[in-house]
Amino acid sequence: MKKYLSILAGILFAGTMLAQKETSNMRNQESQFSVNETMERIKQILRTMEIPVFAKFDHGKNAEEAGLELHPNQVIVFGSPKVGTKLMQENPAISIELPLKISVWEDKNGKIWTTVPQMERLAAECGLEKEPVIGKMQELLEKIVTQSIYKE
């Protein structure tokens, strides 16, 4: 049984690596759920972790209301003012990247993706790469996404 679990874990890890896309300051991972379900899973994780949600944007709905078409696309904004404020005290320019955000969207082929910022790269642009909280922010983003995109 342990052998099969190890094999399954290896397959899942390999699949995760293949399903990830990365651009300069963003990291994309494919979700096994719809945009709405992925977003609901993210919101539940944030509630469980007692992390405040500041806003949620439904770009698809906004486009529809403007008479335009857009595949489903939602963004959730969340974080801790105690953490973000300390970074902004060091360099206010980081405020353009805070609070944290996760985007969930559907591509033209019907695949669902999550996008998170690469906080280490963004922080480096503001001279904050040595702040220990940056790595923790990245770990948090990745933990939330990983828990929200895979079936249990």
Give the confidence band of 64 by pLDDT, cuts at 50, 70, 90.
Answer: very high
Output the CA torsion sign for 89, 95, 99, 102.
negative
Reply yes or no on whether the pLDDT at 137 is more than 70.
Answer: yes
Q: How far apart are CA 40 and CA 80, in angstroms?
A: 20
Reply yes or no on whether the pLDDT at 5 is more than 50.
Answer: no
Length of the chain: 152
Average pLDDT of the chain?
88
Reply yes or no on whether the pLDDT at 73 is more than 60.
Answer: yes
Number of other CB atoms surrounding residue 82 within 10 Å? 8
Q: Which of 9-13, 108-112, 128-132 has the highest mean pLDDT?
A: 108-112
Both tokens of 60, joined, read 């698809």
Say if CB 78 and CB 52 are below 8 A apart: yes
